[in-house]
């Protein structure tokens, strides 16, 4: 679905850094998906408009692989369950469904959590905040600190002409011919491209030019397993400070 502007979602630019916190620049090259299997599963995004949900289950694969050494791949039914829970989509209706909205899904993951295992257990996130997609260095900082950044972007028709190319770049013509929105996770970067996971594959990259032209929202997600394993939190903030920024989004 189209992006939302929920005023209580915290923004990186407004986070108050811990006094004395020194932000070390992230490494020049980082890819947290290195070592993951080539085929990560579609999580039904080939038939449903559940890219936001599929992307979260890909995020779980990245976090668990880097935390426990083994990627945890949930059943595709869990992605469809999350899609249904967050949009009201009814599988019996068929079709793609209404499409997910990133801010709605992230708020749900904060309060309720994603279904895992047999569908009765939940994986919650600790916090999330928006990053200005025009600040590419901030995006790199948070990929390094959080394992990945979740983005929403407009899809040019050139990307959907046949099989998507491995390198996503701005087409020479018809660059404003937009066919819809999509959501992916970025688990890595180098100085010229961002690595992304989409449609079950981890070998796609998008150029800086593509990112700057089409991305209209980006989020850092603070995952409890990742924080416990790596001890790093973004933007020089403590976990308690990050959790405090979530109060307005919490249901309780």
For 237-249, write each residue's pLDDT tens digit. Answer: 888 888 899 998 9
Task: Express each pLDDT in 115-169 by its tens digit.
Answer: 999 999 999 999 999 999 999 999 999 999 999 999 999 999 999 988 899 999 9
Specify which residues 116 forms β-bridges with: 121
CA atoms within 13 A on the CB side of 73: 9
- Give the residue from 12, 8, 17, 6 showing the smallest Cα distance to 241: 17
C-alpha 90/C-alpha 95 separation (Å) is: 10
C-alpha 55/C-alpha 136 separation (Å) is: 20
pLDDT of residue 8: 86
In percent, how much of the chain has pLDDT > 70? Answer: 96
Q: How confident is the model at residue 252 (pLDDT cuts 50, 70, 90)?
A: low
pTM above 0.85, yes or no: yes
């Amino acid at each position: 679905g189209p992006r939302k502007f929920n005023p209580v979602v915290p923004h990186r630019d407004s986070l108050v850094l811990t006094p004395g916190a020194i932000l070390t620049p992230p490494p020049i090259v980082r890819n947290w998906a290195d070592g993951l299997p080539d085929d990560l599963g579609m999580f039904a995004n080939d038939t449903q408009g559940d890219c936001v949900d599929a992307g979260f289950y890909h995020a779980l694969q990245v976090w668990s692989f880097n935390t426990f050494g083994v990627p945890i791949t949930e059943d595709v039914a869990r992605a469809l369950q999350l899609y249904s829970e967050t949009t009201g989509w009814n599988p019996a209706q068929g079709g793609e469904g209404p499409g997910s909205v990133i801010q709605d899904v992230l708020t749900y993951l904060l309060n309720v959590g994603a279904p895992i295992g047999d569908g009765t257990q939940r994986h919650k996130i600790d916090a999330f905040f928006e990053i200005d997609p025009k600040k590419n260095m901030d995006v790199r900082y948070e990929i390094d600190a959080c394992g990945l950044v979740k983005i929403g972007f407009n899809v040019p028709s050139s990307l959907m002409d046949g099989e998507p190319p491995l390198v996503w770049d701005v087409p020479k013509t018809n660059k404003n011919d937009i066919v819809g929105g999509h959501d992916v996770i970025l688990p890595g970067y180098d100085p010229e491209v961002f690595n992304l996971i989409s449609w079950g594959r981890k070998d796609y990259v998008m150029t800086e030019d593509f990112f700057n032209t089409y991305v209209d929202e980006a989020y850092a997600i603070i995952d409890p397993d990742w924080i416990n394993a790596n001890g790093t939190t973004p933007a020089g903030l403590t976990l308690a400070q990050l959790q405090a920024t979530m109060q307005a989004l919490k249901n309780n």
